[in-house]
Structure 1
Amino acid sequence: MTSPIIHRVTTLDLAVRPMIWPFAEERRADIAAHFAEKQRELPRMWNGRVLLGRDAVFADGHLSATYFETDFASFLAWRDWGFPDPAVFNGFGMGALRTSDGAFVMGEMARHTANAGRIYFPSGTPDLDDIRDGRLDIPGSVAREIEEETGLTAADYVVEPGWYCIVSGRAIAMIQILDLDMPGEAIRTRIEGNLALQDEAELSAIHLVRATGDLTPTMPRFVTAFVEQQFAAR
């Protein structure tokens, strides 16, 4: 397996354009059957609209790409079947919450989600709510996911300029460091309090990562690669 590649960029230029995805059209019946099976396992799973990317280019500190709209069922089948269309990638934003005592804050996905048990930074596959004037607004997506998953708002953290784009297989995680003016245990307690108020929280637990020894196999490789780089630079 190829090791993740980390690009440090200052700007994201992500256009959203109409496109017919041949994979989704040609495998429609198989995709519907696959999604029906997943819904039997996770009845709350919803076939909403999401955005996937093509034609990613890293140059001169910038990332440019084109995104198109598809349904979640097609995305899920593409992911679960080993990415049969290699021209497409799943490109999403992540908010790397960093506490005043240097810990990174990650959430464990709840049992009712499509990624149950996985541990990573607040994030989500971009959807139609993340489009602004024909472009994908990844900073806005990060802020929205942070608030939805943890209850924290932009007033709770300071954004570090720039992005760490981790390319791992057919995923590109666009990670932005968000500095909190609170120590790890205090922020964990606060987020857990917010989760307790939610009817159906996406997260089932909060994890603090203070060193590489805190990394686990349930964390995606693009997350552990980013954390390893951050701790190595200290």
Structure 2
Amino acid sequence: MSEGFILTPIETVTARLVTYEWAWARDNAETIAENWRRRCAARSGLFDGRVLLASGYRIEATTCSVEMFETSYASFITHKDLGSPDAAVANAFAAIVPRGVDGAVLLGVMGGHTANAGQIYFPCGTPDLGDVREGGEIDLAGSAAREFTEETGLTLPPDASERWLLARGEGQLAFLNAVTFPEPGAVLQNRMEKHRFAEAEPELDGFVVVRAPGDVDTRRMPAFVRAYLRHALMRSATLPSWSRSD
């Protein structure tokens, strides 16, 4: 356990769309509406689309199966703002953790127009109906790869693994897939910045490279990011240089 999060290696992740009546959202409709008005007053570009949250999950050996339901972004962000008071519902998402061949970890700085302005975390997004496939399957791995490419301009290496580290805690199920690229961290950062500058409306304000525990920003990095970084950096420090890999 790290930073209050339980870290679990996962080989396979499956998710499916289910019907779920979210009693908390129904009973707190006025609170949700007021919080959304406050949010929009602070950042006018927010959009109340439809997102997917988890109503349950099960881990068997190295497989995790997740049940997810559709709700409004306003309900999700209010639940998050209030500290995730409904323990039966979690923010489940997948993210690519880009790493340089030198062991550096790269993260994005959220733009000032976004709901999480200034926060630093891995390129990712909340799953939505666009991630639902035939039969109700939800493509979390595809969601992670799409968000990663959209935000960084990089494509995953053809040999990238789909091994995950699940970080559970604080109302979150974060499925993190560390992918090592053949370039060092500084080169990857430059490539990402070129992509960002070429975008008409970039979602990110920049990228951060973490190489050592002292690079961890405890103020702007969410707890699941800090938990992962402390785990990954500690693991790298205990391995000989020729065997360091996630």
State if a TM-score over 0.5 links the two structures: yes
In the TM superposition, residue 26 of structure 1 has moved relative to its aligned partner by 2.1
Q: Is the 1:16–1:135 Cα contact (8 Å) retained in structure 2?
A: yes
Q: Where does residue 17 of structure 1 map in the other structure?
A: 18
**Quick check: 1:227 aligned with 2:221?**
no
SS in 2 for 1:136: coil
Moved over 6 A (4+): none
Q: Where does residue 140 of structure 1 map in the other structure?
A: 142
Q: Where does residue 150 of structure 1 map in the other structure?
A: 152
Q: Where does residue 204 of structure 1 map in the other structure?
A: 205
Q: Where does residue 27 of structure 1 map in the other structure?
A: 28
In the TM superposition, residue 38 of structure 1 has moved relative to its aligned partner by 0.7
In the TM superposition, residue 32 of structure 1 has moved relative to its aligned partner by 1.5
Q: Where does residue 51 of structure 1 map in the other structure?
A: 52
Structure 1: distance between partners of 2:174 and 2:158 = 20
**Quick check: 1:187 aligned with 2:225?**
no
Q: Where does residue 107 of structure 1 map in the other structure?
A: 108
Q: Where does residue 243 of structure 2 map in the other structure?
A: none
Structure 2: distance between partners of 1:212 and 1:30 = 39
Structure 2: distance between partners of 1:40 and 1:224 = 30
Q: Is the 1:157–1:178 Cα contact (8 Å) retained in structure 2?
A: no
The alignment's C-alpha RMSD in Å is 1.5
In the TM superposition, residue 82 of structure 1 has moved relative to its aligned partner by 2.0
Is 21-30 or 142-151 further displaced after alignment?
21-30
- Normalized against structure 2, the TM-score is what? 0.90
Q: Unaligned stretches of 5+ in structure 2?
A: 237-246
Q: Is the 1:160–1:179 Cα contact (8 Å) retained in structure 2?
A: no
Is 209-218 or 38-47 further displaced after alignment?
209-218
In the TM superposition, residue 157 of structure 1 has moved relative to its aligned partner by 6.5
Cα 1:2–1:215, aligned 2, differ >3 Å: closer, same or farther? closer
Counterpart mapping for 1:110-121 below 5 A: 110-121=111-122
Q: Deviations over 1:114-134 (max 9, x none)?
A: 111111111111111111221
Q: Is the 2:3–2:224 Cα contact (8 Å) retained in structure 1?
A: no
SS in 1 for 2:90: strand
**Quick check: 1:164 aligned with 2:165?**
yes
Give the residue type in structure 1 aligned to 2:89: V
In the TM superposition, residue 196 of structure 1 has moved relative to its aligned partner by 0.6
Q: Deviations over 1:83-140 (max 9, x none)?
A: 2211000011111001111101100101111111111111111111111221221110
Q: Which has the higher strand share?
A: 1
Q: Where does residue 83 of structure 1 map in the other structure?
A: 84
Is 156-165 or 104-113 further displaced after alignment?
156-165
Structure 2: distance between partners of 1:35 and 1:223 = 26
Q: Is the 1:146–1:152 Cα contact (8 Å) retained in structure 2?
A: yes
SS in 2 for 1:63: strand
Q: Deviations over 1:24-49 (max 9, x none)?
A: 22222321221111111110000010
Structure 1: distance between partners of 2:159 and 2:201 = 28
Structure 2: distance between partners of 1:158 and 1:227 = 23
Structure 1: distance between partners of 2:142 and 2:87 = 27
- Normalized against structure 1, the TM-score is what? 0.95
Structure 2: distance between partners of 1:2 and 1:147 = 29
SS in 2 for 1:178: strand
Give the residue type in structure 2 aligned to 1:162: R
Kindly, what percent of the aligned residue pairs are identical?
35
